[in-house]
Amino acid sequence: MLRKVIFIFLIYLSFSLYTQENKTMNKDGIFKDNYGNITSYKNGKLHGKQVKVIGYTDKTETSYYKNGKILKKEYNYIWIEGVENPTGFYKKGKPYEGYFPKDSQEILLVDYYKKGKKKYQYSKDNLFTDKIEPLTIKSTFKQNKIYDGRSYDFSEQSQYLKINYLKKGEITQQVFWVFAVHYANAFTISYTKTGYEITEKRADDVKVIRKDDKVSFFYKEQEIMFISLLKNTLVAKDIGYYEVDGSLYQIIRNGLQFSSKTEKEPEGDYFRSLLFKIFMELRYEKNYNTKIPTILSNLKNSEREDIFAQITYDDKGKPFSGVIVSQENRKYSGKAYENGKLIKTVKGISKDSIKAIYRKLLHLD
């Protein structure tokens, strides 16, 4: 019985597909929908003028076909100074001459082809406006890669946009845009002969500077902390504490020790800046590669595990900064350290109390 039902279903499916295909082959004429899209057929093949409306906007792409083969495209949303009616011409179904928007819904990038090869890429100075504005940024290709100008890399999963500024094939600056719901921030890395400088868009009074073998954190132009590559010949470590179902767990990470520039740090809320957290994460980066997305991903993982306290050990294996946490009978004990000195000991308290001590130590509360 089951075989008979399957057999009848397959016959019905084959007949439906044949009917649909035959209907398509016989399709002829111009078809319009309520959104303004226009499709034109001749002998079942795309032929003549086709209009595609993009989303719920006034933006349109107009394509021209001949016997099913695309000839060219025109766009009403591309504005390049000195170019009237930007058009892209095809040859054998591939971009050959003119202007072709990249298949990206996030930002508008337009590649210019010359005899089948990419020559330039155009983009807006303000990437995040949806208005039709001139594409004033012109970048040059060499061997199918951006050689001079700006290149863009958008990762939807990581929710960031990386912009590389290039000069003769060398990256001189990078900007990392980070996105969340109702939130955007940017980190700019400017490379120098001796290292780099990192700034944060949402906190213009902080920055990170690497010069030779030293990475420093600055607040209001004053050096607060630094990491010395030469000094840290031995590996230090951090231990982060988090709780699962009432039990204490640890995350152990090897890194390099950071040092305070002055015994008394200036008052300020720089601890709240994301750049400060990035600076602290640089201790775990090999060769101090500034992989902002990787660092931010590590920070998100830490938040997910709800690390409520942390202790940093120096290169001699001694507690340097933070809180050492232990647990007995579901209660917590802690030893708080600052600049290598034990400043407080507590016993038999809750997780939230330990967390409060740690946050106060970092001036977060």
For 326-338, how does the pLDDT look when each residue is reduced to its tens digit (9 = 90+)? 999 999 999 999 8
Residues 64 and 85 in one domain: no
Provide mean pLDDT across the span 223-246: 81
Report the pLDDT value the prediction gives residue 7, as an integer from 0 to 100. Answer: 42
Are the C-beta atoms of 144 and 137 separated by less than 8 Å? no
Listed residue (104, 278, 274) closest to 180, CA to CA? 274
Domain with 298, as residue range(s), is 231-365
pLDDT tier for residue 233 given thresholds of 50, 70 and 90: low
Residues 264 and 144 in one domain: no
Q: Report the range out of 4-18, 79-93, 349-363 with the highest average pLDDT.
A: 79-93
The answer to whether position 63 is within a domain reads: yes
Q: Which carries the bigger pLDDT value, residue 20 or residue 173? A: 173
The answer to whether position 133 is within a domain reads: yes
Residues 43 and 135 in one domain: no
The answer to whether position 33 is within a domain reads: yes
Output the 3-class SS for 154-214. EECCCCEEEEEEEECCEEEEEEEEEEECCEEEEEEEEECCCEEEEEECCEEEEEEEEECCE
Phi-psi region of 348 (alpha: psi -120 to 50; beta: other; left: phi over 0): left
Report the pLDDT value the prediction gives residue 127, as an integer from 0 to 100. Answer: 84
Are the C-beta atoms of 24 and 41 separated by less than 8 Å? no
The answer to whether position 305 is within a domain reads: yes
Residues 70 and 108 in one domain: no
Scan for tokens 């929710």, then name that residue: 159
**Number of neighbours of residue 92 by Cβ within 10 angstroms:** 8
Q: Is the pLDDT of residue 129 over 60?
A: yes
How far apart are alpha carbons 179 and 26 in whole angstroms?
48
Could you say which of 57, 76, 95 is where a domain stops?
76
Scan for tokens 């690390």, then name that residue: 307
Q: What is the pLDDT of residues 285-326, one digit of tens each?
A: 766 667 777 787 777 666 656 889 999 887 788 898 899 999
How far apart are alpha carbons 201 and 224 in whole angstroms?
20
Residues 247 and 328 in one domain: yes
The answer to whether position 218 is within a domain reads: no
Side-chain-facing half-sphere of 263: CA atoms under 13 Å: 1
Q: Is the pLDDT of residue 157 over 80?
A: no
Helix (H) or strand (E) holding 2: helix 2-25
Q: Is the pLDDT of residue 261 over 90?
A: no
Residues 258 and 362 in one domain: yes
pTM: 0.76
Q: What amino acid occupies position 354?
A: I
The answer to whether position 10 is within a domain reads: no
pLDDT tier for residue 137 given thresholds of 50, 70 and 90: very high
Report the pLDDT value the prediction gives residue 360, as an integer from 0 to 100. Answer: 86
Report the pLDDT value the prediction gives residue 304, as an integer from 0 to 100. Answer: 56
Report the pLDDT value the prediction gives residue 191, as an integer from 0 to 100. Answer: 92
Report the pLDDT value the prediction gives residue 231, as an integer from 0 to 100. Answer: 67
The answer to whether position 222 is within a domain reads: no
Helix (H) or strand (E) holding 299: helix 292-304
3 state DSSP class of 237: strand
Residues 167 and 103 in one domain: yes
Q: Is the pLDDT of residue 262 over 70?
A: no
Residues 181 and 262 in one domain: no
Could you say which of 164, 191, 218 is where a domain stops?
191
Could you say which of 40, 57, 76 is where a domain stops?
76
Residues 93 and 44 in one domain: no
How far apart are alpha carbons 297 and 159 in whole angstroms?
10
How far apart are alpha carbons 348 and 72 in whole angstroms?
75
Residues 158 and 184 in one domain: yes
The answer to whether position 203 is within a domain reads: no
Average pLDDT over the chain reads: 84
Report the pLDDT value the prediction gives residue 235, as an integer from 0 to 100. Answer: 63
Q: Which carries the bigger pLDDT value, residue 8 or residue 203? A: 203
Residues 186 and 102 in one domain: yes
pLDDT tier for residue 68 given thresholds of 50, 70 and 90: very high
DSSP-derived secondary structure letter, 365: -
Residues 59 and 137 in one domain: no
Q: Is the pLDDT of residue 21 over 60?
A: no
Number of domains making up the chain: 3
Report the pLDDT value the prediction gives residue 1, as an integer from 0 to 100. Answer: 45
Provide mean pLDDT across the span 115-141: 91
- Greatest Cα-to-Cα distance within the chain, rounded to the nearest angstrom: 86
